[in-house]
Amino acid sequence: MVTFLAVLGVLVGIAVVIGVIANTIDAEGEMDPVTLQKTAERLEPVGAVYTDASQVPAAPAPKASAANAARSAEDIVQTVCGACHNSGLLNAPKIGDAAAWAERKKAAGGLDGLVTAAINGMGSMPPRGGDASLTDEQVRAAVEAMLK
Ligand code: HEC
């Protein structure tokens, strides 16, 4: 019993000491402002309902389509198509593999067939190589650039 009470006393003593230390470290109970801001951001509503058209905020400006239109075929091939066609990823026909491309061109019935496949997607290739912002003309130019 004596030992038990002694241990209990020591533990209570330690608890009091820890409590005092904790109070001195965080005396005002303030939280880190960065943490507070992040918490507020996480608690923001994901959407809002407007009952009056005039309240609706302007839609964000569409992606710079002028910049998109200016992308050259070579640029598109490197940044979009090259992800698969440079290395033959997912069994994509490799750029520069003339035999593979000639075979595909024949099977697809010419350049138009290849372009249609690139626009609509084929097998593991997503439509437009996965970049929906590309126009039909840009995809055609990219196919032509790849064949070169
Ligand atoms: C995610 C990987 C991936 C990307 C990105 C990709 N391709 Fe492909 N592509 C493939 C694969 C895989 C095939 C072979 C599909 C098959 O034979 O089933 C293919 C086949 C093709 C073919 C041959 C179609 C046919 O009729 O045989 C063309 C043309 C082509 N891609 C053009 C493009 C162009 C242009 C781009 C960029 C705008 C592009 N690809 C981006 C994976 C990709």
Q: Left (φ > 0), alpha (ψ -120 to 50) or beta: where does 46 sit?
A: alpha
pLDDT at position 107: 94
Is the pLDDT at 30 greater than 70, yes or no?
no
Number of Cα atoms under 13 Å in the Cβ half of residue 83: 11
Tokens of 70: 């200016």
Query: Which atom, in ligand 1's list, is nearest to the CA of 126?
Result: 1
Q: Calculate mean pLDDT across residues 10-34.
A: 85
pLDDT digits (tens, 9 = 90+) for 41-99: 899 888 888 888 787 777 655 554 556 767 889 999 999 999 999 999 999 999 999 99
Ligand 1 pocket, CB under 6 A: 76, 80-81, 83-85, 89-93, 104, 108, 113-114, 117-118, 122-125, 128-130, 134, 139, 142-143, 146
Tokens standing for residue 82:
């090259």
pLDDT grade for 22, boundaries at 50, 70 and 90: confident
Greatest pairwise CA separation for the chain in angstroms: 97
Residue nearest to atom 29 of ligand 1 (CA): 114
Q: 142 with 81: CB under 8 angstroms?
A: yes
Q: What atom in ligand 1 is closest to the CA of residue 77? A: 37
123-144, pLDDT tens digit by residue?
999 999 999 889 999 999 999 9
Token reading at 142:
């990219």
- Separation of 68 CA from ligand 1 center, angstroms? 21
Do 74 and 81 meet the contact criterion of CB atoms below 8 Å apart? no
Tokens of 92: 């994509």
Q: Whose CA is nearest to atom 32 of ligand 1?
A: 118
Query: Which residue's CA is the closest to the ligand 1 atom numbered 26?
Result: 114
